[in-house]
Structure 1
Amino acid sequence: MKKLIICILFVISIVLFAFSFQKYCSIHKFDINAIKKNIAFLSNNNFKGRLGGSFENDEVASYIRDQFKASKLTSYSQNYYQTFKAYYPKRISGDPYLKVVDTHGNLVKTYAYDRDFKEDMLNFKSNHVVFYNGSNIKANSSYIQIRDKGNNFIIYAPKDNNISFRSSFIADSDYSLCIMVTKDCLSQIRNYLNNGCIIDCFIPYSNDTTTLKNVIGYIKGSDSSKPPVIISAHFDHVGTDLNGKVYNGALDNASGTSFILEMSKFINSLGTPNRDIIFVAFNGEEFGLKGSEAFVNKYYKKIKSGEDYNFDMIGSPSSIPLSIMGGKKDTANSAPINSISTLCAKEHVSFNYIFEDASDHSSFRNKNIKAVTFCDDDTSRIHTPADKASYISSSSIDRCFKIASRDIINNSYTFSFLILYNKQVCILSLFAMIVLTFISLQYAVKSINQQK
C-alpha cells in the first residue's frame, strides 16, 4: 500500500513539475524597461502631445494597433479600430492676443502670451471676448466673469500663479472661453476697467467635430459566453500650446498605455484563459471620457457582467501610495476594489482609496459594470510641460503589476495558483520527486536485504 501511495505521489510530482516548468519557460517576463522605453517613445515631442483630432494622435493609434498585432491579439473590431465622433479644439488661423485699448481705439497695453496669459483648454464655443466696465461682469480678486449674448467667459488667476496647466477639453462646458492670467495681469486688467478702458482677447481655437479611434484587441477564452475581463488605458493627451510647446503626457497617460501593451504580452503567454480578455486603448479621455463611453455603449450587451481594470498614471515616485480608484458611489467593499485592497495588504503595498469619476472606469460604473482604475495620484506635473518620461519610477510600475496581474489572473484562469506560483511549484515538485526517489530506493534496498 505504501509503495502505491509513493507511486501516485511521484506521478503527481512529475505532472506538477512538467506543467510548472513549461509555464516558467513560456511565460513572458514582464519587462519594466520595455514599458519605460514605450513611455519615452509615446511622450516624445514628435507626437506633439497626442491631442485627439490631430495627425499625431492618429499615428499613436496606428502604433498601438501594430503592438497589439505583434502581441498576437485578435482584432475585436474592424481592423482593431472602433471609430466614433467627438468635438475637439481645432486650431484656426491667427495669433493669440490680450490687449487693452482706450475708448478711441488706441492701444494702451499688450500682454505676452505664455508669460501673462494663456488659454485654458476647457472650451472654445467662442474664441473672442471684448468687455469694459459697463459690460455684464462679475468679479473678485481671483477672476473676472463676463456674460455676453448667451456666452459665459471667464478670466482667472490660478492659485499658484502658474499658467502652464492645460485642462481637459469639455465640449458641453458652461463656459464658452476660459483664459488664465497671472495675478499681476488680472490686477492690472481690473485697474484698466476702472479707468474706462476696453479689454480685447482672442484665442485661435474653435470647437469642431472629428473622428477618433479606440484600439481594441482580445485573447479568446475557452468559454466566450462568460463575461469578459477588460484591460484598458487612454492614450490621448492635451497637445501643444499656441507657441508649439509640447505637453508630453508621460505619466498621463503614456504610462498606462505602455503598461497594458506589456501586459498584453504577459497575459497572452499564460495560455488560454477561461473567458475572453479584451485590451482597449481609449481615445478622447481628455475630451470627457468619450472613448470609453463609446466602447461601453457599443459593447454593453457583451460586457455588462464583465470587469474593467483601467490604468491611468502609473509610475510616480514610490513614496506616493498606489491609488485604487472607484466611482463616486463605490465603497471599499465594491468589487473588484475589495479583492485588490486585500492583495495590497497581503503584499504590504501602501495604497489608498479614491472614489471619483475621474477616469475611464466611470463610463463602466455609470452602466453598473464593475470597474477600477489603478493610479499613482501625483498631480504635481500632469497637464504641464513637466510631465516627462525622465520622472517615471520603475518601482511604482512593478508594484502595480504585482497587484493588478494577480487579481486579473485569479479572475481569468482556472488553475490560477499554478500560474501565479509556477516557480515555487516547480521547485517543490522537483524536491518531492527527489525525496520520493530516495524513499523508493530505500524500500528497494530493504526488499533486497530481506530476500537475502
Structure 2
Amino acid sequence: MKKTYYSVLALFLVAKLIPLSLLAQSNPVPYAYTIKAEELKKHLTFIASDSLKGRNTGSAEQKVAANYIANHFKAVGLAPVQGSYFQKVDLVNRAWTTVQAQIKGKSYAYMTDFMAYALAPVAAGTKSPAVFAGYGVQQGAFNDFDKLKAKGAMVVVFDGEVKDQAGNYVLSGSKDPSAFGKATGWREKVKLAKAAGAKGLIVITDKDEKSFSTQLSQRQAMMKRFGNERMVFKEDTQNKDAEFPVLLVSASMAAQLLGTDVAALEAYKLKVSTEKKSVATKFKPGIIDLKIESTETPVDTYNVVGYLEGTDKKSEVVIITAHYDHIGVSSDGRINNGANDDGSGTVIVMELAEAFGKAAAEGHRPRRSILFMTVTGEEKGLLGSEYYSNHPLFPLENTVCDLNIDMVGRHDDDHIGKPDYIYEIGSDKLSSHLRAILEDQNKKHIGLELDYKYNDPNDPNRFYYRSDHYNFAKHKIPVAFFFNGVHEDYHQPGDDVEKIEFDQIQKVGRLVFYMAWEISNREQRLPVDSNKP
C-alpha cells in the first residue's frame, strides 16, 4: 500500500514538473508508421472503383464515398462536429436555357457571336441602354467612369489595359500588367461598373474576328464535354442584386452597339495608347435587348468532417484537407475514377485521422485540435472549401493552418526516373515558420525532394489558386499544398488505381503527419508574418 502511494506521488510530481508541451511531444514515429501503403491502397481501391462512377459532385455515388469516409472517421475515434460528420454545402445546379441578344433589330447568338465571363438572369424584353467607358479603368490618368451615366445601363469596355507604343503597360510602366490587364482584369471593371449603378458589363475582345471565332469554338467544345450547367451557391442565386452579366463580344458586335465601325474602334485604341489617358469619343451607343434564362436544381452534397479535440490549446484548430469529388462519367460513357485526383489525397486524410486517433487513444492527444476534412465540389470551382471558409465550423481566427493534399502518388514528365519528390506550394507565403517546419520534418524523417517550382508567383499554371487550400489562404490562414504535378491521365479515364505508386503516397502521408504533429504540439502558434505573392 505504501509503495503504491509513493508511486502515485512520484507520478504526480513528474506531471507537475514536466511541461505539458513535452508530455504531448512524445515519439511520433510509431504513429507515423501506421500510415502504410497497403492500407492506403485498400481505401483507394474502393474510393476510385468503377462502382463509384467518378464521384461527381452531388451524385448518388459520391454519397457512398462520403459515407465510407465518415464511417472511417467514426471508427478511428474522431468526433462529429455539431452532431454530424457532414457539413451540407448548399449548392444548386444552374443551367442556362436561353441566352439571346439583339441590337438594332439584328440578333446575335450565344457561343456563335459572343460568350460570357459571367451570366445572370435577365427577363425577356429587357432593353438596356449602352454606355461606353473606354478600357473601364479608374486609375492615374484614366478616369473612364467619371461623369459616366451608367445607372441602369450596360457598360461597354475594351478588354485588358492600354499599352504604349513600346509595348509597355501604361498603368505599370513595364511589361507587367496591372490588375486591369491580367486574365481576371474584367473583375476589376465589374467592381467599378457595379459601383456606378450599371446592370451589366460588355467587354470587347482584344482578338481579331478569326481568333475570337476560334476561342468561341473552343468554348463550345468544352461545353459539349462538360455541359451547360454550373454549380453555384444557393445563397448567391437568391441575391439578385449580386448577380451581374458580363458578356465578351466581338469588335463587330460592339461596333453595332456603339453606332460606329471596327476601324473607328481601332483608331480609338491607338489614340488612347498615344495620349496615355482617357479620351472622349463620338460613338453613339444604342440599346441592347437581352434575354437570359436559367433553371436551378438543388444539389445534395457535403463536406465530410472528423474532429479530434486538443488539450491545453484546443481552441486553436489545424485543418487537413483533400477533395473527394471528381468529374464523374464522360459524355462517351467512360468513367473517370480520379484515383490520383484526388482519391490519393482523400485516403491520406483518412490514414492521418487513424494515426492521430490511435495516438489520442494511447494518451498522446495533440495540444491543438485537428479537423480532418474531405471537401466536395473542388472540380466545380473549389466550392466545398469556399463554403467552409464562408460558413466555418470553427472560427477562422482560431484556424492555425490548412495542410492540403491534392494529387500525389504519380509523377510528371519532369520527374521520370526520379519519383522521390513532391511539389509543395504556399508554405512560405503567409508564415515563415511553416516552410521551416516542412523542411525540418522532411529532413528528419522522410527525405523527399521538395520541389518549389510551382510556388513561383509568376507560374503560368497558377496552381496556388487552383486547389482548396486557397480558400484558407485568402483569409490569411497559412497553407501548404502537396501535389505531384499533372500527367497524361489528368482528368482522363486513365486515372486509375493501378497507376498509383503507393510507396510515394505513404511518404507524403507520413510527411504531412509529422508536420501536423509538430504544428499541433509546439508552444507557439504559427505566426502570420509573411505576405508573399
TM-score (ref. length: structure 1): 0.61
Deviation by residue 1:195-219 (Cα, 9 ceiling, x = unmatched): xxxxxxxxxx976441320111111
Kept in 1, the 8 Å contact 2:408–2:505? The answer is: yes
Out of 408, 424, 433, the residue aligned to residue 324 of structure 1 is 424
- CA shift, 1:297, in A, is 2.0
Secondary structure at the residue paired with 1:79?
A: coil
Residue 294 of structure 1 is matched in structure 2 by 387
What is the CA–CA distance in structure 2 between the aligned matches of 1:138 and 1:71, rounded to whole Å? 60
**What fraction of aligned residue pairs are identical, expressed as a percent?**
24
- CA shift, 1:174, in A, is 6.7
Change (3 A) 1:22 1:374: closer
- CA shift, 1:24, in A, is 7.9
Structure 2 matches for 1:42-441, cutoff 5 A?
Answer: 42-88=47-93, 138-140=209-211, 143-145=214-216, 154-155=219-220, 171=231, 208-223=297-312, 225-270=314-359, 271-299=364-392, 302-304=395-397, 305-317=399-411, 319-320=418-419, 321-326=421-426, 331=429, 334-345=432-443, 347-353=446-452, 354-355=454-455, 356-413=464-521
- CA shift, 1:27, in A, is 7.8
Secondary structure at the residue paired with 1:280?
A: strand
State the Cα RMSD in Å. 4.0
Change (3 A) 1:230 1:207: same
Change (3 A) 1:335 1:290: farther
Deviation by residue 1:299-350 (Cα, 9 ceiling, x = unmatched): 27624241111111111147343011228xx549645233213443555321
What is the CA–CA distance in structure 2 between the aligned matches of 1:20 and 1:412, rounded to whole Å? 10
- Equivalent residue letter for 1:308: D
Change (3 A) 1:89 1:56: farther
Kept in 1, the 8 Å contact 2:317–2:371? The answer is: yes
Aligned residues: 319
Change (3 A) 1:365 1:30: same
Structure 2 matches for 1:18-57, cutoff 5 A?
Answer: 29-57=34-62
* Greater Rg over alpha carbons, structure: 1
What is the CA–CA distance in structure 2 between the aligned matches of 1:336 and 1:144, rounded to whole Å? 41
Deviation by residue 1:88-139 (Cα, 9 ceiling, x = unmatched): 47899xxxxxxxxxxxxxxxxxxxxxxxxxxxxx99999xxxxxxxxxx943
Change (3 A) 1:26 1:59: closer
What is the CA–CA distance in structure 2 between the aligned matches of 1:223 and 1:332, rounded to whole Å? 25
Change (3 A) 1:325 1:209: farther
Secondary structure at the residue paired with 1:367?
A: coil
Change (3 A) 1:168 1:206: closer
- CA shift, 1:154, in A, is 2.8
Structure 1: give runs of 5+ residues left out of the alignment: 1-7, 93-121, 127-136, 147-152, 158-162, 177-204, 416-452
Kept in 1, the 8 Å contact 2:119–2:246? The answer is: no
- Equivalent residue letter for 1:253: D
Secondary structure at the residue paired with 1:77?
A: coil
- CA shift, 1:389, in A, is 0.6
- Equivalent residue letter for 2:408: I
Kept in 1, the 8 Å contact 2:35–2:510? The answer is: no
- Equivalent residue letter for 1:287: K
What is the CA–CA distance in structure 2 between the aligned matches of 1:145 and 1:72, rounded to whole Å? 52
What is the CA–CA distance in structure 1 between the aligned matches of 2:352 and 2:54, rounded to whole Å? 24
Change (3 A) 1:91 1:241: farther
What is the CA–CA distance in structure 2 between the aligned matches of 1:61 and 1:87, rounded to whole Å? 19
Secondary structure at the residue paired with 1:154?
A: helix
Change (3 A) 1:224 1:333: closer
What is the CA–CA distance in structure 2 between the aligned matches of 1:64 and 1:394, rounded to whole Å? 19
Residue 278 of structure 2 is matched in structure 1 by none
Kept in 1, the 8 Å contact 2:31–2:356? The answer is: no
What is the CA–CA distance in structure 1 between the aligned matches of 2:485 and 2:518, rounded to whole Å? 26
Kept in 2, the 8 Å contact 1:77–1:216? The answer is: no
- CA shift, 1:144, in A, is 4.8
Change (3 A) 1:20 1:77: closer
- CA shift, 1:394, in A, is 2.0
Secondary structure at the residue paired with 1:75?
A: coil
Residue 100 of structure 1 is matched in structure 2 by none
Change (3 A) 1:144 1:20: closer
What is the CA–CA distance in structure 1 between the aligned matches of 2:84 and 2:25, rounded to whole Å? 36
- Equivalent residue letter for 2:403: Y
Kept in 2, the 8 Å contact 1:138–1:144? The answer is: no
What is the CA–CA distance in structure 2 between the aligned matches of 1:213 and 1:325, rounded to whole Å? 26
Kept in 1, the 8 Å contact 2:95–2:230? The answer is: no
Change (3 A) 1:349 1:216: same
Change (3 A) 1:28 1:215: same
What is the CA–CA distance in structure 2 between the aligned matches of 1:124 and 1:21, rounded to whole Å? 55
- CA shift, 1:285, in A, is 0.8
- CA shift, 1:79, in A, is 2.0
TM-score (ref. length: structure 2): 0.52
Secondary structure at the residue paired with 1:307?
A: strand
- CA shift, 1:236, in A, is 0.3
Kept in 1, the 8 Å contact 2:405–2:483? The answer is: yes
Kept in 1, the 8 Å contact 2:314–2:367? The answer is: no
